[in-house]
Chain A
Amino acid sequence: MSVPAPPSAGRGAELGVRLRDRDLSAAPATLNLVESRTPADREQTAALLRELSPAKLGGEAQGHVIGVTGPPGAGKSTLLSALVREWRTRGKSVAVLAVDPSSKRSGGSLLGDRARIDFDPGDRELFIRSTAAGERLGGLAPATRAAAQALAPAFDIVVIETVGVGQSETDVADVADTVAVIVQPGSGDALQFLKSGIMETPDVLVVTKADLGKIAISARRDLSAALRSLGARDTKVVMVSSVPPPSGIADLADAFEDHRAALDLPGRRLAARRAAALADFAVEHGERGVRGLGGRRAAVKLLAEQDPALEVPALVAVLEAKVAA
């Protein structure tokens, strides 16, 4: 049992302590907080993440952060629905952070994916939250990074679902332990993106609609060949079908576990925190701010010198102090 936060600690710290205690019911309020842009709430978010730093946790958060991305129509939501069922059957608690693109025109967004994930309203170990991507097309909102970091100590699995086969995977890679790209057979896009280097090599490539038989198998073959030619031998290709009877879902869950087991988790998490800190700093202070640090490379170097146990807001504070100095 961790020590309860002192009563004066404020909302952020209280939520942090609850999450450290794996109180899953803290998730909705946590998201409301980390998504908020008011200065007071930003401070509370920093306080929340402080409670969840590796130092406070006594190590890395136990949850497995998985990024799932792919083009619209690839069957992500249906797949996710089946995956969530599989994880729940295995007794794992799951948080899904679904990131939808926003309308550039109105600033509003239709957060539709939830409609396609079956959920039992009485299930307290499953949390689904949809978020608009914000102003950057296909990008990951700073709030989503913070949310994933906040929920990882509490949930066994934290999924970040994003749309796209372009730049957004790199964003997801900044925060996820394991990145999966979903492609559907017959669409050559993923193959082209892989070959041209537009798409970073994912940890797991998922070919959906395996019920399409021949097309799916040839898609798998082409992708495997492309991965070999890129020297990405560690990337697993998994075929799944969400059409009843679903197939490949357990294999996929296993592939995620295998990847995580083979991973240098502290190393990846440390890199993720440092990348996130720089990204958050850049969102806040812009390119001018980055130049103030002596450029991106100097910033990376500065971050690399910091205590590995520092959480993201603390790292951002280091960068800000440097600019001010």
Chain B
Amino acid sequence: MSETPAHRLPERDRPWMMRTYAGHSTAKASNELYRGNLAKGQTGLSIAFDLPTQTGYDPDHELARGEVGKVGVPIPHKGEMHTLLDGIPLDDMNTSMTINATAAFLLALYIGTAEENGVDRAKLQGTTQNDIIKEFLARGTYAFPPGPSMRLIADMVAFTVTEVPKWNPINICSYHLQEAGATPVQEIAYAMSNAIAVLDAARERVPADQMGKVFSRISFFVNAGVRFVEEHAKLRAMSILWEELGRERYGVEDPKHLRFRYGVQVNSLGLTEAQPENNVQRIVLEALAVTLGRNARARAVQLPAWNEALGLPRPWDQQWSLRIQQVLAFETDLLEYPDIFEGSVVMDGLVGELLAGARAEMAVVAEHGGAVEAVPYMKAALVDSHRERWRRIESGEQVVVGMNKFVETSESPLVDEDGGIMTVDAAVEAHQREAVEAWRAERDQAAVDAALAKLREVAADDSQNIMPASIEAARAGVTVGEWSQALRDVFGEYRGPTGVGEATAADHGADLEALREEVGRVGEALGRTVKILVGKPGLDGHSNGAEQIAVRARDVGMDVVYEGIRLTPQQIARSALDEGVHVIGLSILSGSHKELIPTVIDELRAAGVDVPVVVGGIIPEADVAPLKAAGVAGVYTPKDFDMNRIMSDIVALVAAKGGVSTPA
């Protein structure tokens, strides 16, 4: 038998696990979607939960309004989990759950459901995302303060390492950092610092001889942007740092334990609403970033759909993305070779640069006292990076094809009358509200009360692990809202830093000067500095857009009231009244604008606040007219990347409302 040459593998590699981030409306509809996706060749599940489930509210909670079943599936209790997983072989499936603040309870529901179906928990495979630091930094679905949140994570690590040994209790996410504007260096440094915080917390809860195993169960969830060569270098740098960290900080020696394992969802931030078909080639190139080099290849890949900047993708859109993966894995020769970058001067050079930058930034985070303490620092740094990215796009330094260059286009046959997206039936929410009420009425209330009492007791006692009591609660029929409230009672509530207060002053040249002049002129005529309220109603935690608007409004000379995420319409109206603002900007990306925006406007009117309201976010074209009919003065979507134009519109609205004449 001849020996395999160095440039070939003895046998073709097995493809990575292929998933699609999916879930919407109801457990039943999502179950059908999963089965369909598996039939199309998907090899793992990736469950998208709706925002109420992610933030620990039942469908009938006030804050859940407009959000039920929108960006994912509502799973408030074990009955819904059974429906969601119906007919799916759990001893064979690898399930990734995008769940963080309430991860302990959703894992408890998963374990409970598996066991009630006769599947041993030791056989379960999958991942709970469970990375709370990036929720504080970028995604916003936190529920408890940092300290108790880290304890819950450590509890899950300690529990799964023995009880559910094939489970990844946490996915350290650099993904959302890039979505929030992180540079590659920041993405690496903050993710690694975050991992250190988790491992340090876990080290206090597991025996020393288990640390290698614990280390090996920590996986990453990364991002890949369209600069795919540098992005690949980033992953190689991360794998080097990870191994170093394992050896040096945690004394891990087994090479198997030291391996850097990651799943990926490629970049959504760079996907455009303008000429959305171009997103397909962006996605393909980004997929190359995480698959090209064997030494840093993804274990699991999920690709966004071409129309994400327009709204929720349909099953066909997601199928297209799955097919991209399948062509890459099964048609090309990618999986036939060893690492193709070994010995590359360019790759080694890039990796070296990123390593040096990341080490320096990790040292800064360490100086702040570690990732938990450094959240405000990292948040402000991300807001700054994002602003720099936006500036480059506005100025044309960074080319985005179809958006700031080559914008001429023929009519697209892909975007038809329905807008080329999926819409969730508004009746879903009412149905889910009734369903959860019915569930509460039918269960054994004494058992529920006992389980919740036990849960509170365990939560208050730092020496106990939250998981057994959570599994008991799941079995007793406790809901995610009840589980979360019990912990909120013990741990307290928390509002994350907004990062905008620390943002440095911008220098945008002449455009900004002209705007400042106009803002100043209008303010003088009104008697007070133009004051704007930037608000995020609902549960959506994607605050990047709102933050950038807030910072730019400050930079053009306005007084800006920005209160962070997760506000009720009543809170927004009350702030607008008390603060005496001249204009209100609302941001929603979760698809709940149709319900929430008119409610906010009703509340404003009830409070006697009569000022212009503008809305920004992922707003399908078809929804613009109804919003304007409800009283919205302007609607901005991702294609409106020129923020100075938005500011100029806003000042004009304020001037018109205040009877200020147009500039001479």
| Interface of A toward B, CB cutoff 8 Å | 27-28, 31-32, 35-38, 41, 103, 105-112, 114-116, 118-119, 121-122, 127-132, 243-244
Q: Is there contact, CB below 8 Å, between B579 and A244?
A: no
Q: Is there contact, CB below 8 Å, between B493 and A110?
A: no
Known A28-B580, A106-B516; contact A121-B505, beta-carbon cutoff 8 A: no
Closest to B520 in A: A107
Distance, CA A132 to CA B553, complexed state (A) = 14
Known A32-B528, A115-B495; contact A127-B578, beta-carbon cutoff 8 A: yes
Distance, CA A177 to CA B503, complexed state (A) = 34
Q: Is there contact, CB below 8 Å, between B556 and A106?
A: yes
Pick from B526, B529, B551, B562 the residue with the most CB of A within 10 Å.
B529
Whether, in the assembled complex, B560 has its beta carbon less than 8 Å from a beta carbon of chain A, the answer is: yes
Which chain A residues border B527 with CB–CB below 8 Å?
35-38, 41
Which chain B residues border A35 with CB–CB below 8 Å?
527-528, 580
One of B389-397, B405-413, B565-573, B589-597 at the interface: B565-573
- B535 CB to nearest chain A CB (Å): 11
Which chain A residues border B564 with CB–CB below 8 Å?
115
Which chain B residues border A112 with CB–CB below 8 Å?
498, 500-501, 562
Known A35-B528, A36-B528, A243-B147; contact A114-B577, beta-carbon cutoff 8 A: no
Whether, in the assembled complex, B23 has its beta carbon less than 8 Å from a beta carbon of chain A, the answer is: no
- B376 CB to nearest chain A CB (Å): 8
Q: Is there contact, CB below 8 Å, between B505 and A132?
A: no
Which chain A residues border B553 with CB–CB below 8 Å?
108
Known A37-B527, A118-B493; contact A110-B554, beta-carbon cutoff 8 A: yes
Known A27-B578, A116-B495; contact A109-B559, beta-carbon cutoff 8 A: yes
Distance, CA A106 to CA B552, complexed state (A) = 10
Q: Is there contact, CB below 8 Å, between A105 and B579?
A: no
- A80 CB to nearest chain B CB (Å): 13
Whether, in the assembled complex, B561 has its beta carbon less than 8 Å from a beta carbon of chain A, the answer is: yes
Known A108-B555, A110-B551; contact A115-B560, beta-carbon cutoff 8 A: no
Whether, in the assembled complex, B574 has its beta carbon less than 8 Å from a beta carbon of chain A, the answer is: yes
Q: Is there contact, CB below 8 Å, between A111 and B559?
A: yes
Which chain B residues border A131 with CB–CB below 8 Å?
559
- B647 CB to nearest chain A CB (Å): 11
Apart from A110-B551, A122-B570, what 10 extra A-B contacts exist at CB < 8 Å? Answer: A41-B527, A103-B555, A106-B554, A108-B554, A108-B557, A110-B501, A111-B579, A112-B562, A115-B495, A115-B563
Which chain A residues border B555 with CB–CB below 8 Å?
103, 105-106, 108
Which chain A residues border B559 with CB–CB below 8 Å?
108-109, 111, 131-132
Whether, in the assembled complex, B36 has its beta carbon less than 8 Å from a beta carbon of chain A, the answer is: no
Which chain B residues border A36 with CB–CB below 8 Å?
526-528
Which chain A residues border B558 with CB–CB below 8 Å?
108
Q: Is there contact, CB below 8 Å, between A121 and B568?
A: yes
Which chain B residues border A111 with CB–CB below 8 Å?
559-562, 579
Distance, CA A74 to CA B516, complexed state (A) = 32
Known A110-B550, A111-B559; contact A129-B570, beta-carbon cutoff 8 A: no
Q: CB within 8 A of B561: which of A38, A119, A130? A: A130
Which chain B residues border A32 with CB–CB below 8 Å?
528, 580
**Can you list, as one digit per residue, whether each of B509-529 has a CB less than 8 Å from chain A (1) or not (0)?**
000100010011000101111
- A18 CB to nearest chain B CB (Å): 14
Which chain B residues border A103 with CB–CB below 8 Å?
505, 554-555
Whether, in the assembled complex, B251 has its beta carbon less than 8 Å from a beta carbon of chain A, the answer is: no
Whether, in the assembled complex, B485 has its beta carbon less than 8 Å from a beta carbon of chain A, the answer is: no
Distance, CA A244 to CA B460, complexed state (A) = 11
Which chain B residues border A115 with CB–CB below 8 Å?
495, 498, 562-564
Q: Is there contact, CB below 8 Å, between B491 and A121?
A: no
Q: Is there contact, CB below 8 Å, between A114 and B491?
A: no
Distance, CA A132 to CA B581, complexed state (A) = 13
Distance, CA A235 to CA B575, complexed state (A) = 35
Whether, in the assembled complex, B145 has its beta carbon less than 8 Å from a beta carbon of chain A, the answer is: yes
Distance, CA A27 to CA B528, complexed state (A) = 16
- A267 CB to nearest chain B CB (Å): 32
Which chain B residues border A31 with CB–CB below 8 Å?
580
Which chain A residues border B571 with CB–CB below 8 Å?
119, 121
